[in-house]
Chain A
Amino acid sequence: MFNQYFQPNDILIIYPELLLALFAMGVMIIDLFLDRAWKVLNAFTALVGIAYAAYALYRLKSNALNLSGYNHAILNDSFAIYFQFVFLIATALVILISARYLSIEGENRGDYYALILLSLIGMNFMVMGIDLITLYIALELMAVSEYILVGYLRTNRQSNEAAMKFFLLGAFSSGILLYGISLLYGISGSTDLRVIAQRLAERPSHDPIALVAVVTLTAGLLFKIGGVPFHQWLPDAYEGAPSTITTFISVAPKAASFALILRIFIVGLKPLETSWVPVLSVVCVLTMTLGNITAISQSNIKRLLAYSSIAHAGYLLLGLIAGNEYGITGIAIYFLVYAFMNIGIWTLVVAMRRKDLIGDQIQDMAGMIYKNPGAAVLMLVFLLSLAGIPPTAGFIGKYYLFASVIQTHHYVLAVIAVLNAAISLYYYFRVVVVMFMSEKTDEEKMTLSPGVLTSLAVTLVFTLLIGIYPEPFIRFAQNSLSLFQ
């Protein structure tokens, strides 16, 4: 039964994913036996699954270093394990806030959680994969789950429309990506990124096919993280999707796509660095600037955060452009921080969804300090963190990213990035002004379920803790440096 392609150990490497799969099926089956009133148990089942997976992952982490399996199709190194922890944290927080939201929307079913767990499996394989085929299939697994989740509100046309757009454009970009992958296979004869890197290094520089491959890979991958000019789907999808799903896709899949990009560019395309660094630099500047400046004129909080999320993708690209230890640590810590602060702020947006009130206009937050003072202060903390003001966690992330490009002497980029951070304060602060300095327009309080409160407590504590005492978290994030091995 066992051969060089399949060792008994291989099962252990993907143990967390097996557990997640089991629970994904479990949720759907248990769902059949649940009354309407007990649907909240679905969320509970999913959380238990995540807890198990996290434990399995923890055991893996403490057991061995670089686990390669399935004939080198996957590499579960500490880089992968770090990102998987980030996904698990983000997913758990999203599940916490989902139950109440879904019941308000009248769509409380088990398949929602199953889809989230399945896309989690996809993301896990995306960070583990070192083989282009595995990476691609995992990416599609994540993406297809996302498309369905974005359109999950069956009766909401905006949600349907967003899902359709997201799906069509996602398929389009996957096509471009696949073209790049096939070109890489064509010139190297292998799908293993490490082999590809060797072959590319042997080939003459300015190899035209390699260049075309870089372009198509870049275009396809930048689409996934919403880099300008491949960003147009993002505000529409974020606005149309159920808020909990927006919370989800703004953090975990983005982190997964970024990890994928890191793997492909830092491991596979390292020999072609001279051609992709300038391209990414231009994209990075465009992404930061356009994201921030367009965010200024938004009146819908979901769209505002969507553009802000585009801008954040721009900051994250700085780390990739630097491509050194600082940059990678920066990206890693940024996603941990981003998971907390972004989920925190989106949780508040979710809680704004009250009966008969969509609550996604910035104006709906007017006078929040008088209605929900606690929520207003939390919002302030998360906004400060997004803006990167110390001593919140956001500062640590930005600090690493900006410092990394300074180390690699990309001074112009650093200046533009800092300038952008300054611009971003303007629109974050606009939300603060509305919350703290204008009249309340209605008396409707927020929907604060136990799940939402737990999620808020966790995100707040970590947003402040990482900012005030980042030491252990940075050490944790430095696990991702195994990428260079």
Chain B
Amino acid sequence: MMTFDQILFYALAVIAVLSAIMVITRRNPVHSALFLITTLFCVAGIYLQLHAEFLAAVQVIVYVGGIMVLFLFVIMLVNLETLSQERRFNRQWHIAILVSVVLLVEFGTIIWRGKAALQLPANQPLMDTLTTNNSEQLGVVLYQQYMLPFEIASFLLLVAIIGAVILAKRRLSSDGK
């Protein structure tokens, strides 16, 4: 008998996968974008189930609020007429399906064969979940244990900015001519 938690998880997971499939099969890009938002919401729900409230909130704010809005902007700006006439799949799609199915079967085989050895470690909460809240825990991990990667990530962003500037400069100079 499944608990309510399990039912909720499977429901969210199924919706996430189904809408992910819809994302790539819809002809209208706006529909695709909306289905992508659904997927992201479902994933955020799963995060919530894991008591990762902060991550869930960030997921919604950054992806749904920021990135998806950008996506929609771009979609609105380009000509919808021509886009909807393009083929959704190129000729490789059956090969792709075949390969994906083979991969699935293979992973399945591996897990099936080794199911005796399959044991997951018990969930180890990073800190006491009752006394400290989730965002505080994340902060501690990010700024203490993973301080160095966090700092390196700032360089990563710097590089991304430089890259964006180079790309933008290209546009300006070619438009200017």
Binding site for B on A (CB under 8 A): 3, 5-6, 14, 21, 28, 69-71, 73-74, 111, 114-115, 118-119, 121-122, 125, 131, 133-134, 136-138, 140-141, 144-145, 147-148, 152, 154-155, 186-189, 199, 203-209, 211-212
Contact = CB atoms under 8 A, between A and B. Distances in A.
Contacts of B114: 206-208, 211
25 contacts: A70-B147, A70-B148, A71-B144, A73-B146, A115-B159, A118-B158, A118-B162, A121-B155, A125-B152, A133-B146, A134-B148, A136-B149, A137-B149, A140-B156, A141-B155, A141-B159, A154-B166, A154-B169, A155-B174, A188-B121, A207-B118, A209-B118, A211-B110, A211-B114, A212-B107
A131 B145 CA distance: 11
Contacts of B159: 115, 118-119, 141, 144-145, 148
Given A137-B156, A204-B116, 17 more contacts: A5-B144, A28-B162, A70-B148, A73-B149, A122-B152, A133-B149, A134-B146, A136-B149, A140-B156, A141-B156, A189-B124, A203-B119, A204-B117, A204-B119, A207-B118, A208-B117, A209-B120
A208 B111 contact: yes
B3 to A, nearest CB: 22
B162 A114 contact: yes
B153 interface: yes
Interface of B is mostly: helix
Interface in B129-177: 144-149, 152-153, 155-156, 158-160, 162-163, 165-166, 169-170, 173-174
Contact of B162 (A74, A111, A136, A187): A111
Contacts of B116: 204
B90 to A, nearest CB: 15
A278 to B, nearest CB: 15
Given A5-B144, A141-B159, A147-B163, A131 B117 contact: no
Given A141-B152, A189-B121, A208-B110, A152 B160 contact: no
Interface string B38-52: 000000000000000
A239 to B, nearest CB: 20
Contacts of B91: none
Most buried by A among B114, B159, B169, B173: B159
A117 B163 CA distance: 14
Nearest to A109: B166
Interface of A is mostly: helix
Contacts of A138: 149, 152
B145 A212 contact: no
A207 B117 contact: yes
B87 interface: no
B94 interface: no
A148 B166 contact: yes
B163 A203 contact: no
Nearest to B162: A111
A54 B53 CA distance: 45
B137 to A, nearest CB: 15
Nearest to B118: A208
Nearest to B116: A204
Nearest to A132: B149
A31 to B, nearest CB: 12
Contacts of B121: 187-189, 199
A118 B155 contact: yes
